[in-house]
Structure 1
């Protein structure tokens, strides 16, 4: 793992990059710069002055939005929709993610082996008797991670685990870097790294001084791992402590909550329970709702939520790790729908699903499923609340390589959706189930992420 300073590469125009899983070829493509809105504000002297007036600090937060086929990333103030700044990262971001306290946006550049960090400018400092909020202009941070094929990013309220897949063609092995907000702020190189000896398309979850991460057999015919191990941090590296006997064939996707870590397998879900320094594993098999080649390949968790949500294609499952239960969620999918975004929202009271047909489905989350002894009925953990139509356009006109994209606020009941068909940004109030604002963008948007100061009552971590 090499943590580097920003170089002149940050000023270069990006290369073509396919997002998600798998490799792609690289081609240099020059692009015109994005036009800047009239309300673009650099400040009078270019300095990033702190705003100490609490009443003036944005509670709505800020959005970081990348442009399609471009290395330019813009930061918008949500209070008034103004463009605060646009930054050139080294390459086209394949994904955007948020740091633990949501101060920084991670601009993941998979095929160029790089992760850069954009400071959104909203943060808190611990002043012993209170958390003091600050607001400043966004900026491109000096902290940069460089290693082979950064792919899966998972986050808790204090740590981020970045899984680098490695590359068989070049012989680069996989690695996992576990960073904190302080590492980014201080441009530290003292964070711990797990270095593997071979490549793998893996997954990892940071748990304080521990890391729960995947293991792949060197003789495996696939890059997907089939086991999980517990590693313990020692200064700048991790030591292996335990490899679980339970197999997880075709492992893909992971999430965590307060007590459990989950991993998706072809035959079910592997559940790791932590009790202090003790970790135990169990397997939850697929139910009768799984047919053909269906398998859970994506998991979402939240610190205070008792359920994980597992996705097998367009099917969603409520997984209660402690009770060992898995039940199909009725999210009333429209015909031909596939999912492009999802997560807990509105202080963890809701779960939202964005689909490729242009609908946002809102579910009420009731926590653990329980029976009502008096009425003799069961209340599902996830209950359908509303379906919001986001566009009346023909979704078949979606630009090639684009899709509807979702970002979830951690400070209020809003979520944000990019609609590449008409280059708009939609604000949806999930409590009321309606679109409350639409902003036209003057470029083709690609990815987005919410940054800001989370409401303490809304602090639920979303794994993607």
Structure 2
């Protein structure tokens, strides 16, 4: 090959690499510059965790009778046993951590599965499951977190704030009391705290900074807060007369009431929202025989007559409403028409303690009496996709990794 041909081949190789996006630097005989340094830690790197291409869902299960606590990995089907709890009375999650209410406080478990949503892209992580420790104080009735702080609100009022970074490092930090907090839950949102049940009438929602200093009191009231949910559109609070949607834009917080549209009895109010993480469609029981569905995007309520129901949830975005009846039958409803589109008998007894967890493709129902968890394909007429037999009674269940 002549010298001219050698130079031509080098140029073509550089052009090809540039087109493919792999070109770092091309050198000729006269170019001796060192290539730029490449970071050893790629974007999204988290020490001690493995980044995955899909959501790493895990179920946290607790037996109210024996105190057994287990984590079921839905990807590998492995079960991790943790230290038994002491009189488990409740189980909650903030997406990564599970919080078990019991005698002497709230026990914290790092499920080792979580999602980081940057808006235009998402990171999924998995790591080892581990016990973190105990938060001393009254039972936690509401727990919400952002990247910096975890707010733990008690049923009788009062909120403790924990350093989220220390929880992620594996220790329970000393909790700080949020002074002057209202009687309702506190939700970290957009680098602030939304404090409910504040003011003389206990119907005000305050926006505070992370130090607890009040920034503004929102004009729209929310009396008798009966549930809350964080969505892509903002934070939703259940109120006496409907729902309150709190959103933020360029540092300005706004509150918008979403009324029921008709008179609703106290017993028929929406209490306790459930939804798929990231969805803007919420489900909440309405008395003993119906379910409310709130479309946050359209600002619209729909009441579906279900009959006696113990749990309900929906994936939103065209998916059915899933309602578990007291008779152990799981029913899928078309939300627009309110009509049943599929039914499946799941539980034979003890349905009162069951819950329905929903992700982007599957639903999960715990059966304490049969010591099982059922995985349901809600897009295929409630097809039973998998059954997970367990050696204990899963009285409580939450899904983490969201």
* Both structures adopt the same fold (TM-score exceeding 0.5): yes
Cα deviations by residue, 1:55-102 (Å, 9 ceiling, x for unpaired): 9xx97643221112233212234356443323223x3232222343x3
2:397 alignment partner in structure 1: 448
1:263 alignment partner in structure 2: 237
Match of 1:106, SS state, is strand
Match of 1:147, SS state, is coil
Distance across 2 between alignment mates of 1:53 and 1:261? 28
Establish whether residue 426 from structure 1 lines up as the match of residue 397 from structure 2: no
Match of 2:391, SS state, is coil
- Determine if contact 2:247/2:253 at 8 Å carries over to the other structure: yes
Q: Which runs of 5+ in 2 are unaligned?
A: 1-47
**Measured at CA, do residues 151 and 417 of structure 1 come closer, stay the same or move farther in structure 2, by a change above 3 Å?**
same
Distance across 2 between alignment mates of 1:407 and 1:302? 8
2:214 alignment partner in structure 1: 240
Q: 1:387 aligns with which of 343, 353, 362?
A: 343
Distance across 2 between alignment mates of 1:308 and 1:73? 28
Q: CA deviation at 1:268?
A: 2.4
* TM-score, normalised by the number of residues in structure 2: 0.71
Establish whether residue 319 from structure 1 lines up as the match of residue 268 from structure 2: no
Q: 2:205 aligns with which of 184, 209, 228?
A: 228
- Determine if contact 2:59/2:400 at 8 Å carries over to the other structure: yes
The aligned runs of 1:74-93 (5 Å cut-off) are 74-79=70-75, 81-89=77-85, 91-93=86-88
- Determine if contact 2:190/2:248 at 8 Å carries over to the other structure: no
**Measured at CA, do residues 268 and 76 of structure 1 come closer, stay the same or move farther in structure 2, by a change above 3 Å?**
closer
Establish whether residue 119 from structure 1 lines up as the match of residue 79 from structure 2: no
Distance across 1 between alignment mates of 2:176 and 2:138? 13
Establish whether residue 186 from structure 1 lines up as the match of residue 181 from structure 2: no
Distance across 2 between alignment mates of 1:308 and 1:267? 17
Q: CA deviation at 1:148?
A: 2.9
Establish whether residue 403 from structure 1 lines up as the match of residue 379 from structure 2: no
The aligned runs of 1:346-357 (5 Å cut-off) are 349=319, 351-357=321-327
2:65 alignment partner in structure 1: 69
**Measured at CA, do residues 418 and 175 of structure 1 come closer, stay the same or move farther in structure 2, by a change above 3 Å?**
same
- Determine if contact 2:233/2:296 at 8 Å carries over to the other structure: no
Cα deviations by residue, 1:209-255 (Å, 9 ceiling, x for unpaired): 1111213456x7xxxx422111111xxx3211122343333222112
Distance across 1 between alignment mates of 2:106 and 2:236? 25
The aligned runs of 1:38-117 (5 Å cut-off) are 61-79=57-75, 81-89=77-85, 91-100=86-95, 102=96, 104-109=97-102, 112=104, 114-117=105-108
Q: Which runs of 5+ in 1 are unaligned?
A: 1-49, 167-172, 366-379, 455-464
- Determine if contact 1:415/1:430 at 8 Å carries over to the other structure: yes
2:131 alignment partner in structure 1: 140
Establish whether residue 344 from structure 1 lines up as the match of residue 319 from structure 2: no
- Determine if contact 1:358/1:389 at 8 Å carries over to the other structure: yes
Q: CA RMSD in A?
A: 3.9
Larger Cα Rg: Structure 1 or Structure 2?
2
Distance across 1 between alignment mates of 2:266 and 2:213? 39
Match of 1:326, SS state, is strand
1:196 alignment partner in structure 2: 179
Q: How many residues matched?
A: 350
Q: CA deviation at 1:447?
A: 0.7
Match of 2:395, SS state, is strand
Q: Which region of structure 1 is more displaced relative to structure 2, 190-199 or 280-289?
A: 190-199
* TM-score, normalised by the number of residues in structure 1: 0.63
Cα deviations by residue, 1:274-303 (Å, 9 ceiling, x for unpaired): 222212233333333735742222234567
The aligned runs of 1:155-304 (5 Å cut-off) are 160-166=150-156, 174-177=158-161, 180=164, 182-187=165-170, 193=176, 195-197=178-180, 200=183, 202-216=184-198, 225-233=202-210, 237-288=211-262, 290-291=264-265, 293-300=267-274, 304=278
- Determine if contact 1:62/1:78 at 8 Å carries over to the other structure: yes
Q: CA deviation at 1:427?
A: 1.8
